[in-house]
């Protein structure tokens, strides 16, 4: 089984629920996973299927095994069985649209010969040409009471059964138009259906998970479009060494890793990400969800604080403090001293690494998502970026990248700073009824893109004719650049 | 050294470079000893570039006029190439291509089908990122041009891209030995193999009639994993027809979106305060008053029959108060004035590129029961509650 293509044990995956919300979970062997009101299932039942598969939860011979629902964790002590969510069996669905017995393919409007053919479920009920007879009387139109619906749910009736009963008990369902009936069905299905799709944990998926959770601020209001732009404009490849500031708690670093290595722990690519952080320790918390091994992350993600980066240890001092021993010397060392020696050696190596990153390494790109003052940060971080390599800086706000672009514009080491904004507009994708969605997420941020360049020294300018006079000064060069 | 795929340090003869003259004037040039790059800003000998690091600014003084001209020499990347490239067809720009790659999870793990190749702009981006790219072009001339370009850019030598001359709508995507393709040129495929294992998990169709190509995909897409598809069509009618075929052919998670990319110019606007404007008008009025009073005196003299009524016109003093530099050409950002940093959308916006129709398909939604059984056996002793500690827990355990 390929853990990138197939659902595998001990990996983190995303589960897309009927409500289209995303749940992130780890697939522990022999365990059960509860989806709250959408049911529960055995992890083993999904192992080995390709990512993207949709499963439906069934309760044919239910009530045998149960696991506590997450919302009732506290209550379980007293009433052990009362709030348990039964674990169902699974079947594979053709798609999310065919949930509940595959009857509503037409609800999407796709592919049907006559585009107005209503959902077969709905044809039996009858509908209205228009909604002129539909009077909004609020909740009383539904004859089933809340308690009755709850009871249906407890009896673990399928979503389909509940919805059918609700339609039966709906006073004016036949007065709705087909379109409106379909919307009603869809809404109810999102509430009562019991299916889920298992998705690979992509960087876009991780972002979606954060947004669903309401963690917009943590994600710095980033959008999938902006992540795509950052990775493309940054020319991110598996063989580059990138300098990175990531204030999203690891989302950006994860996106870099996915683009560079595609989730492959066995990748032998040499790419590295050097993460510069402003606190004592880097916050790359989200990487705990990644399916890269700890070794892999340690080899490809390095962290250094801004203080260490801008004021690196002095080589001579480090070497004064510690001298690595030769193998022969080591052999002679007593074992109780060896532990201490190796701890010092680790410290020594980390100091040498920091000196390398801060004073020797030339970076193949600078990728920043930070709320630090960009105009003071980027010119300094840009110093060690190799000529011709891109610098990409994300900000939630246009004003901050605007100020940055003005700063970089007057600095000859940065070529053509550009502010870009990319927005994706999703459409209702139904044949014959294509239109942009009525609402979409706002925000998504801005990206500044430029290239590091090496300005010519005035003394290096070739003079074809023996010209005497005016020395070439920087201000002249600047003028030219602006024009 | 490879032109695109490797990071180069120093400019050498034989390198393909992009010479940046201005934002909308970037020229691809192959560096050759003794050659010269001519622009209206001056002539730049290649020898001045050789040996310098990539990204270097190259400057010359033009003969006679004592002017200073310069260019920057960059190593090509897919995105810069998109800006500089010779258009053979409408091209896919970075806002679209970056979104498509991100949404379809492009990585070294991806095996990409791209049809048609067109100007090859997207091929460069795919080739940078994906494990393998199968590009198809039905136009013979464009195929030849693209093949040659991929050759010169070392994309073929990188070994993860093949271009095939093919009308995929008619003849599908399978690549056999003997086809007009670069696939079998690569040494690793010489001899033994007769049919290319395409096994694509990312499909990008930039075709006038994608619905004719979609039915052919089943043969060449991955059979046991999720495949992502994107159709790039400018017209909504094309989208509609595509949707019909996608549904018939079992593609799901269908969604059409549109990408709007905007680019902003950084500008400065002069801060012109009300008080300054008032003060300037007061100043004008005051100076006007001088003339008014002179005329008044002359009038009074005339009335009272004085002999000499004419008064010498006083020299109008130059404007004393000119806070906004009126009458002189002020350059944006002039340090003698106060400026507010502002942004402005570029003068011409790409208001519509194309509709992107995404879909996905899993051909076999089954598992290999043998492999699954093996996996179960491996973990049969794992008790779920005590199940494997999370990474964080592991760390904590290690520390204690």
Compute the nearest-CA separation of B221 from chain A (Å): 13
Would you state the pLDDT for residue A464?
A: 59
pLDDT in tens, A342-362: 899 999 999 999 999 999 999
Task: Tell me the pLDDT band of A84, cut-offs 50, 70 and 90.
Answer: low
- State which residue of chain B sits closest to A255, comparing Cα positions: B102
Would you state the pLDDT for residue A157?
A: 63
Same domain, A187 and A209: no
In a domain, A104, yes or no: yes
Does the structure show a pLDDT above 90 at A79? no
Would you state the pLDDT for residue A476?
A: 44
Q: Which of A33-47, A178-192, A415-429, B214-228 has the lowest mean pLDDT?
A: A178-192
- Is the CB of residue B244 less than 8 Å away from at least one CB of chain A? yes
- Of residues A199 and B178, the one with the higher pLDDT is A199
Q: Which of A187-196, B62-71, B355-364 has the lowest mean pLDDT?
A: B62-71
pLDDT in tens, A282-294: 999 999 999 999 9
Residue A453, number of CB atoms within 10 A of its CB: 23
- Token pair belonging to A301: 């993600």
> B339-345 and B202-205: which strand pairing?
unpaired
- Percentage above 70 pLDDT, chain A: 84
pTM: 0.88
Q: What is the mean pLDDT of chain B?
A: 90
Same domain, A190 and A207: no
Q: Which of A140, A165, A200 is the last residue of a domain?
A: A200
Q: Which of A200, A233, A259 is the last residue of a domain?
A: A200
Residue range B18-43: mean pLDDT, rounded: 93
- Is the CB of residue B329 less than 8 Å away from at least one CB of chain A? no
Would you state the pLDDT for residue B391?
A: 59
Would you state the pLDDT for residue A466?
A: 45
Query: Cβ contacts (< 8 Å) between B360 and chain A: which residues?
Result: 52
In a domain, A447, yes or no: yes
Does the structure show a pLDDT above 90 at B354? yes
A251-261 and A224-233 helices, crossing angle to 10°: 60
Asked whether A246 and A275 are in contact (CB, 8 A), the reply is yes
In a domain, A27, yes or no: yes
Same domain, A147 and A212: no
Would you state the pLDDT for residue A81?
A: 47
Query: Cβ contacts (< 8 Å) between B226 and chain A: which residues?
Result: 5, 50-52, 200
- Segment 70-99 of chain B within 8 Å of chain A by CB: 70, 72-75, 77-79, 94-95, 97-99
The span from the CA of A116 to the CA of A483, in Å, is 59
- Of residues B203 and B89, the one with the higher pLDDT is B203
Same domain, A195 and A214: no
pLDDT in tens, B71-81: 999 999 999 99
- State which residue of chain B sits closest to A400, comparing Cα positions: B341
In a domain, A44, yes or no: yes
Does the structure show a pLDDT above 70 at A415? yes
- The CATH number of residue A371's host domain is 3.40.50.150
Compute the nearest-CA separation of B35 from chain A (Å): 16
- Of residues A107 and A194, the one with the higher pLDDT is A194
pLDDT in tens, A218-267: 999 999 999 999 999 999 999 999 999 999 999 999 999 999 999 998 88
| B80-258 classified as CATH 3.40.640.10 | no
Does the structure show a pLDDT above 50 at B24? yes
Same domain, A91 and A164: yes
Same domain, A164 and A232: no
- Of residues B306 and B183, the one with the higher pLDDT is B183
User: In terms of residue numbers, what domain contains A223?
Assistant: 203-311+364-452
Same domain, A254 and A268: yes
Task: Tell me the pLDDT band of A119, cut-offs 50, 70 and 90.
Answer: low
Same domain, A151 and A162: yes
Measured in whole angstroms, the distance separating CA B241 from the mean position of its chain's CA atoms is 29
Same domain, A96 and A235: no
Contact: B375, A47; criterion CB under 8 Å: yes
Best of B18, B20, B76, B98 to substitute, by most chain A Cβ atoms within 10 angstroms, is B98
Asked whether B22 and B41 are in contact (CB, 8 A), the reply is no
The DSSP result for B292-349, as a single string, is HHHHHHHHHHHHTT-S----PPPPPPPPS--TT-TTS-PPTT-TTS-EEEEEEE-SS-
Alpha helices by DSSP H, listed for B159-235, are 168-171, 210-217
Same domain, A18 and A123: yes
Residue range A383-398: mean pLDDT, rounded: 98
SS3 label, residue A342: helix
Contact: B264, A421; criterion CB under 8 Å: yes
Cis peptide before A446 (omega within 30 of 0): no
In a domain, A483, yes or no: no
- Is the CB of residue B254 less than 8 Å away from at least one CB of chain A? yes
Q: Which of A170, A200, A230 is the last residue of a domain?
A: A200
Instruction: Using CB atoms, pick whichever of B54, B341, B367 lies closest to residue A402.
Output: B341
Dihedral (Cα; A301, A307, A310, A313), 10-degree rounding: -90
Domain count, chain A: 2
List chain B domain ranges: 16-76, 80-258
Does the structure show a pLDDT above 80 at A125? no
Confirm or deny that B154 is annotated as ligand binding: yes
- State which residue of chain B sits closest to A235, comparing Cα positions: B77
Query: Cβ contacts (< 8 Å) between A233 and chain B: which residues?
Result: 79, 94, 98
Would you state the pLDDT for residue B400?
A: 56
- Is the CB of residue B263 less than 8 Å away from at least one CB of chain A? yes
Same domain, A165 and A208: no
In a domain, A292, yes or no: yes
Does the structure show a pLDDT above 70 at B322? yes
Radius of gyration of chain B (CA): 34
Compute the nearest-CA separation of B90 from chain A (Å): 20
Task: Determine the CATH number of domain B16-76.
Answer: 3.10.330.20
The span from the CA of B128 to the CA of B80, in Å, is 13
Residue range B390-400: mean pLDDT, rounded: 61
Does the structure show a pLDDT above 80 at B317? no
């Amino acid at each position: 089984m390929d853990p990138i293509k197939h659902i595998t044990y001990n990996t983190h995956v995303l589960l897309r629920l009927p409500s289209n919300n995303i749940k992130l979970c780890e697939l522990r062997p022999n365990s059960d996973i509860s989806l709250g009101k959408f049911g529960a299932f055995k992890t083993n039942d999904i192992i080995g299927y390709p990512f993207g598969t949709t499963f439906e939860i069934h309760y044919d011979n239910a009530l045998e095994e149960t696991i506590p629902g997450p919302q009732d964790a506290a209550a379980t002590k007293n009433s052990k069985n009362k709030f348990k969510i039964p674990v169902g069996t699974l079947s594979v669905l053709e798609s999310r649209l065919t949930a509940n017995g595959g009857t509503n393919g037409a609800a999407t409007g796709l592919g049907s010969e006559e585009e107005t053919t209503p959902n077969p479920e709905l044809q039996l009920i009858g509908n209205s040409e228009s909604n002129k007879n539909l009077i909004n009387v609020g909740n009383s139109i539904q004859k089933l009471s809340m308690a009755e619906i709850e009871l249906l749910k407890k009896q673990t009736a399928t979503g389909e059964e509940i919805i059918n009963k609700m339609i039966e008990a709906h006073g004016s369902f036949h007065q709705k138009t087909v379109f409106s009936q379909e919307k009603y069905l869809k809404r109810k299905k999102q509430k009562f259906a019991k299916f889920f799709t298992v998705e690979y944990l992509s960087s876009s998926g991780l972002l979606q998970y954060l947004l669903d959770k309401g963690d917009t601020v943590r994600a710095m209001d980033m959008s999938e479009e902006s992540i795509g732009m950052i990775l493309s404009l940054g020319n991110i490849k598996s063989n580059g060494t990138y300098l990175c500031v990531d204030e999203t708690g690891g989302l950006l670093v994860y996106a870099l890793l996915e683009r560079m290595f595609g989730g492959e722990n066995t990748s032998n690519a040499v790419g590295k990400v050097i993460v510069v952080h402003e606190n004592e320790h880097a916050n790359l918390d989200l990487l705990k969800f990644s399916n890269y091994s700890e070794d892999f992350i340690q080899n490809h993600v390095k962290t250094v604080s801004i203080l260490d980066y801008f004021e690196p240890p002095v080589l001579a001092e480090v070497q004064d403090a510690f001298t690595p021993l030769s193998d022969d010397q080591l052999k002679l060392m007593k074992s109780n001293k060896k532990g201490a020696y190796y701890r010092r050696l680790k410290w020594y190596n980390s100091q040498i690494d920091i000196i390398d990153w801060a004073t020797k390494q030339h970076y193949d790109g600078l990728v920043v998502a930070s709320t630090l003052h960009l105009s003071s940060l980027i010119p300094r971080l840009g110093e060690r970026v190799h000529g011709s390599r891109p610098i990409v800086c994300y900000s939630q706000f246009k004003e901050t990248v605007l100020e940055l672009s003005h700063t970089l514009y007057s600095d000859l080491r940065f070529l053509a700073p550009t502010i870009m904004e990319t927005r994706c507009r999703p459409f209702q994708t139904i044949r014959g009824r294509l239109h942009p969605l009525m609402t979409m997420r706002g925000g998504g941020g801005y990206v500044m893109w430029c290239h590091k360049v090496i300005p010519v020294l005035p003394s290096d300018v070739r003079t074809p004719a023996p010209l005497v006079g005016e020395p070439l000064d920087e201000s002249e060069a600047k003028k030219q650049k602006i024009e | 050294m490879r032109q695109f795929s490797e990071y180069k340090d120093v400019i050498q003869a034989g390198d393909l470079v992009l010479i940046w003259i201005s934002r909308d004037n970037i020229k691809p040039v192959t560096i050759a000893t003794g050659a010269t790059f001519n622009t209206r800003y001056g002539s730049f000998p290649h020898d001045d570039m050789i040996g310098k690091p990539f990204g270097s600014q190259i400057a010359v003084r033009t003969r006679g006029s004592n002017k200073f001209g310069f260019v920057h020499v960059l190593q090509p990347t897919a995105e810069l190439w998109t800006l500089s490239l010779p258009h053979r067809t409408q091209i896919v720009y970075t806002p679209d291509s970056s979104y498509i790659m991100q949404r379809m999870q492009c990585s070294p793990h991806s095996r990409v089908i791209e049809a048609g190749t067109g100007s090859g702009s997207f091929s460069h981006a795919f080739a940078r990122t994906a494990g393998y790219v199968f590009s198809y072009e039905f136009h013979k001339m464009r195929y030849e041009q693209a093949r040659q370009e991929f050759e010169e850019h070392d994309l073929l030598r990188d070994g993860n891209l093949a271009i095939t001359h093919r009308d995929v709508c008619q003849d599908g995507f399978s690549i056999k030995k003997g086809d007009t393709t670069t696939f079998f040129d690569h040494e690793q495929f010489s001899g033994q193999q007769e049919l290319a294992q395409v096994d694509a998990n990312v499909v990008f169709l930039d075709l006038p009639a994608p619905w004719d190509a979609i039915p052919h995909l089943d043969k060449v897409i991955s059979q046991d994993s999720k495949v992502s598809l994107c159709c790039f069509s400018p017209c909504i009618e094309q989208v509609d027809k595509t949707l019909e075929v996608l549904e018939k052919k079992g593609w799901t998670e269908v969604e059409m979106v549109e990408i709007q990319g905007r680019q902003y110019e950084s500008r400065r606007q002069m801060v012109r305060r009300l008080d300054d404007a008032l003060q300037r008008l007061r100043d004008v009025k005051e100076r006007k008053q001088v003339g008014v009073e002179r005329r008044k005196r002359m009038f009074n003299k005339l009335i009272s029959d004085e002999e000499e009524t004419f008064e010498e016109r006083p020299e109008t003093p130059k404007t004393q108060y000119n806070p906004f530099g009126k009458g002189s050409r002020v350059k944006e950002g002039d340090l003698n004035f106060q400026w507010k940093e502002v942004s402005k959308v570029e003068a011409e916006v790409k208001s519509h590129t194309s509709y992107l129709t995404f879909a996905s398909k899993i051909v076999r939604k089954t598992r290999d029961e043998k492999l699954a059984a093996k996996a179960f056996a491996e973990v049969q002793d794992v008790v779920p509650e005590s199940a494997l500690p999370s990474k964080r827990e592991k760390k904590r355990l290690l520390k204690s």
